[in-house]
Amino acid sequence: MRFKDIIYRENEKYHYELSPEEKTELFERSKFYIFFQDLLQDVKKELAEDEEIHGFLPMNIAENLAATNQGINGIGHARTEKAKKYVKDFSDTRGNRLLIFTDRRMIYLIILDYLEEGNYYSYPYKDIHSIYLERGQVSYRDPKGFKKLEETWYAVDFQSGIHVFAEMFTEKDAEVFKENWRAIPEFNKIPQSKRIYRSKLFDRIVNNWKLAGKFMYFMSACMVLIALLLILGVMFGIGPLKGFYYKPLMTGQILCSLNEFWRH
């Protein structure tokens, strides 16, 4: 950057006035920063004496999974003063979540739950067998311009002890996660897996969202196939389900029976 560019940029600070929108944005940003610092002081009380925080990964329902915000899990009522102030200031109940990386573990907070009950999940690195992190991409057309667009997301899943963490990350989220994975020595010892790991065989079958997705895809394909066979059997009398169609109705004999009924 040239000398004049630097001076002109500094000069702008003396002649530039924030717009009302920018002032509002700055106020909201400052408010959340103050809240985060207070939250961080509370979280530090949960850490071991020499445990250190290395990074943070924020999540919400707009860009991440909303599984913890649905059904009975989505019901949240602020009772403590901290929780009431949080809900009032940020118009959020269980939407905002936080993953904290320390030198020993990952700590997962649903902000409102933590403010209310002090609840959080702890995932020690030493108890994590492996981490499943897979990149996914979907293509779609822009409704306005019919331009082809692509959206990239990452599925992450791991088990620590009896606790399972499963989430969807944006590209930015995944990069933050991988940066901490590389930088923290104990975290870096955990290998990346090509499949979802569960410590028990029953959980590998039942508590496995990827397997459940494949099963639902298989069942959908079976339903489409059955529907196609029914159409062939009913409409054309061919295929393994040809005996399912009503012959008198297809041949017109039912109409003759109705004519004879009305004559009598």
Predicted confidence at residue 249, as pLDDT, reads 47
Length of the chain in residues, anyone?
264
Separation CA 186–CA 207 (nearest Å): 27
**Distance separating the N- and C-terminal Cα atoms of the chain:** 103
In a domain, 245, yes or no: yes
* Any domain includes 212: no
Pair 59, 39 in one domain: no
Contact criterion met (CB below 8 Å) for 139 and 153: no
**What is the pTM (predicted TM-score) of this model?**
0.68
Residues 21, 59, single domain; the answer is: no
pLDDT of residue 120: 92
User: Is the residue at 234 inside a domain?
Assistant: yes
**Domain identity same for 104 and 158:** yes
The helix (H) or strand (E) run that includes residue 192 is strand 192-193
The confidence score (pLDDT) of residue 255 equals: 46
Q: Are residues 240 and 142 in the same domain?
A: no
Q: How far is CA 194 from CA 25, 132, 134, 157, 210, in A?
A: 42, 6, 8, 11, 12
Residues 30 and 134 occupy one common structural domain: no
pLDDT at 96: 86
CA angle 172, 177, 181 (to 5 degrees): 145
Same domain, 58 and 36: no
**In tens digits, what is the pLDDT along the chain, a chain of 264 residues?**
577 777 777 776 666 676 778 777 777 788 888 888 989 999 999 999 999 999 999 988 877 775 555 444 455 567 788 888 888 877 776 778 899 999 999 999 988 889 888 889 999 999 999 999 988 877 666 666 667 767 788 889 898 888 888 888 999 999 999 999 999 999 999 999 888 877 665 555 556 545 555 556 556 666 776 677 666 666 666 766 666 555 544 444 444 444 554 554
Beta strand extents in 84-169 (DSSP E only): 97-102, 105-110, 121-124, 128-141, 148-160, 163-169
- What is the span of the domain harbouring residue 229? 219-263
* 168, 154 contact by CB (below 8 A): yes
What tokens appear for 72 in the block? 């009975």
Asked if 110 and 203 sit in the same domain, the reply is yes
Q: Which of 164, 180, 207 is the last residue of a domain?
A: 207
Residue 214 lies in a domain: no
pLDDT for 136:
80
Residue 207 structure tokens: 């508590």
Would you say residue 96 lies in a domain? yes
Verify that 77 and 149 share a domain, yes or no.
yes
CB 142 within 8 A of CB 117: no
Nearest to 35 by CA among 77, 96, 89, 107: 89
Q: What is the DSSP string of 206-254?
A: HS-HHHHHHHHHHHHHHHHHHHHHHHHHHHH--STTGGGS-HHHHHTHH
* Count: domains in the chain: 3
C-beta of residue 93 within 8 angstroms of C-beta of residue 139: no
**pLDDT of 15:** 64
Same domain, 67 and 176: yes
Could you tell me if 86 and 78 are in contact, meaning their C-beta atoms sit under 8 angstroms apart? yes
Say yes or no: 79 and 153 in one domain. yes
Residue 213 lies in a domain: no
Verify that 150 and 251 share a domain, yes or no: no
The pLDDT value given to residue 73: 47
Question: Do 158 and 188 share a structural domain?
Answer: yes
The per-residue pLDDT for 194 is 85
